[in-house]
Amino acid sequence: MTPLADLWPYLVLILCGFLPNDLWRMLGVIVGHGVAENSELLIWVRAVAIALLAGVIAKIVVVPPSALATIPIAIRVAAIGCGFGAYLAARQSVFVGVLAGEAVLVIGAVI
């Protein structure tokens, strides 16, 4: 085999994974450069992004994939509540919120 034959998975990863996503991100940065931070358009875009994220989180909690399905729903919901509470208590630290939610999941899985 040639050395180039070993690189085809990386080429596929770049062509199918990186470029389709980052091309749109770069285009968004270029187009959105002049948009005011408090504009109606940007407020709407943020609201849609938050709604999509909330929907994905809700789906993962209600219909969990693989190993998460072995943890009871009460523990999954408690992990979200504890994570959000820790996020607020730590002056909106995402790291602390994720760490607290994960700790509840791990403890709930062990018990």
Q: What is the pLDDT of residue 111?
A: 85
Kindly state whether residue 43 falls inside one of the protein's structural domains: no
Question: Which 3 state secondary structure label does DSSP give 1?
Answer: coil
Q: What is the pLDDT of residue 82?
A: 97
Kindly state whether residue 55 falls inside one of the protein's structural domains: no
Kindly state whether residue 106 falls inside one of the protein's structural domains: yes
Lookup result for tokens 């002049």: 34
Q: What is the pLDDT of residue 2?
A: 65
| Burial of residue 19 (number of CB atoms within 10 Å: 0-12, 13-18, 19+) | exposed
Please count the structural domains in the chain: 1
d(CA 111, CA 74): 13
The H or E element spanning position 99 is: helix 94-110
Kindly state whether residue 107 falls inside one of the protein's structural domains: yes
Query: By residue range, what is the domain housing residue 106?
Result: 65-111
DSSP designation for 35? S
Kindly state whether residue 103 falls inside one of the protein's structural domains: yes
Kindly state whether residue 1 falls inside one of the protein's structural domains: no
Kindly state whether residue 71 falls inside one of the protein's structural domains: yes
Q: Which stretches in the chain have pLDDT values below 70? A: 1-3
Task: Collect all residues with Cβ–Cβ distance below 8 Å to 98 and sequence separation of at least 6.
Answer: 83
Q: What's the pLDDT tens digit per position in 66-98?
A: 889 999 999 999 999 999 999 999 999 999 999
Kindly state whether residue 27 falls inside one of the protein's structural domains: no
